Amino acid sequence: MIDIAILRTQRDALAASLARRGVDFDLDALTDLDERRRQARVRAEEVRANQKAAGKAIATLVGEEKAEAIADASQLAEDYKALIADADALDEQFNSIWVQLPNMTDPTAADGLEEEDAVEIRTVGSPRIFDFDAKDHVELGAELGVLDVERASKVSGSRFGFVMGDLAIVEFALIRYAMDMLMPHGFKPMIPPVLVRDHALYGTGFFPGDAEQVYSITDDDLFLVGTSEVPLAAFHADEIFDEDELPVRYAGYSTCFRREAGTYGKDTRGIFRVHQFDKVEMFSFVRPEDSAAEHEFLLAREEELLGGLELPYRVVNVAAGDLGSSAAKKYDIEAWFPSQGRYREVTSTSNTTDYQSRRLKIRYRSESGNELVHTLNGTAIAVGRILIALMENNQNADGSVQIPQALVRYAGFEQLTAG
């Protein structure tokens, strides 16, 4: 949710921001509604103030005077009820529209509406040229006996996988690798709940917009998170930090659940796009003036992690129209996937400015009063896709897979081999 003051004082900037996202909103109607709701509120409050004053006087009166005063106050109470109902209805009408507005777009976010409009910032490493027929991760995994998607579909349907044996150990290695890399930078390891209540999803901007991507446990009014960003952000809901506590950084490890509604026929092979995967997610709470730098900082951590795994990748600045509702700016890192012959997203880091903190009421005490913090998130390790990238990029002609040096100390072996 963005600041309502922006509608009143920076309407042109808001209109420009929406235009860059390709979102169409009738701001004139919204401004009109905003004015009417405030007027209604003032009318109701005037009557309420009179009613309260009258009520206080009653306590000091007796007999007929008292009876008369009660009758008068009674009328005021009735009037107030009608007026406040009016004001509340207008508020509700306004808010239902307002929460749908996406975050203000950062001027440095790339122009364009589509995924393809992302602007490449840099490429690191280069795709490997194979002197043998490279296999994809499904084939490699099956032959090595470390990945089974066929049985997964028997058990759970499409878009699931069993990660097995040494490949499972590589996941554990990746997690520890990520934590060891992040902890020195002040990230606290967290294992959050993956079932959350709806306020956490509203607070992070996934509801109402992206509700169709979220698994719901209707019997208990709980929802499975698609990223630990959700519980990590909501962790500090309704709290006020002391300024010197900031920045607060977390590295959350959790399973992530996504319905992938509307992606039929897209990335259907293997575990590239699945309903369930594990991820280490970075999350930061910072002062507003620090968020742009923090965003670069998170990107730097992502590059450090990927670079350490020796994977070829490129960094892109995501187009305004492809940002999602809560991000003002977003960088994706795309690693090279040999079987697809192209770069695909493996991490994503967003500066959500005060969009989430406003909804979650996360503030800090500053000299000029309490202010909303800025929140940012970024993928440290999306396990499934990294496992694919490692297998496909580091495969040998005999179907074995080389483990990057940085992981060997955690995994305890240097290769994935059959048998």
From CA 344, how far away is CA 402, in angstroms rounded?
A: 21
Alpha-carbon torsion 144, 149, 155, 156, what sign? Answer: positive
Minimum distance, C-beta of residue 72 to RNA, in the bound complex (Å): 8
* x-or-dash string of contact with RNA, 213-242, rule CB under 7 A: ---------------------------x--
For RNA, the closer of residues 242 and 289 by Cβ is: 242
For RNA, the closer of residues 168 and 240 by Cβ is: 240
Selected range binding RNA among 41-49, 314-322, 378-386, 401-409, rule: CB under 7 A: 41-49
From CA 318, how far away is CA 315, in angstroms rounded?
A: 9
Alpha helices in 235-369 (DSSP H): 291-308, 355-360
Task: Assess 77 for contact with RNA (CB under 7 A).
Answer: yes
Q: Which residues are catalytically annotated?
A: 258, 273, 345, 348, 385
Minimum distance, C-beta of residue 179 to RNA, in the bound complex (Å): 22
Residue 126 dihedral angles phi and psi, to the nearest 5°: -140, 150
**Buried/exposed 36-57: b ≥16 CB within 10 Å, e otherwise:** ebeebbebbeebbeebeebeee
Interface pick for RNA out of 363, 380, 385, 406 (rule CB under 7 A): 363
Selected range binding RNA among 53-61, 101-109, 116-124, 296-304, rule: CB under 7 A: 53-61
Task: Assess 59 for contact with RNA (CB under 7 A).
Answer: yes
* HEC-encoded secondary structure of 102-137: CCCCCCCCECCCCHHHCEEEEEECCCCCCCCCCCCH
Task: Assess 54 for contact with RNA (CB under 7 A).
Answer: yes
For RNA, the closer of residues 369 and 419 by Cβ is: 369
The angle that helices 383-393 and 137-144 make with each other, rounded to 10 degrees, is 80
Minimum distance, C-beta of residue 296 to RNA, in the bound complex (Å): 28
Interface pick for RNA out of 13, 15, 29, 42 (rule CB under 7 A): 42
Residue 406, CB-side half-sphere exposure with 13 Å CA sphere:
17
The single-letter DSSP state of residue 218 is T
Task: Assess 314 for contact with RNA (CB under 7 A).
Answer: no
Binding positions for RNA, rule: CB under 7 A = 4, 38, 41-42, 45-46, 48-49, 51-52, 54-56, 58-59, 70, 73-74, 76-77, 240, 361, 363, 369-370
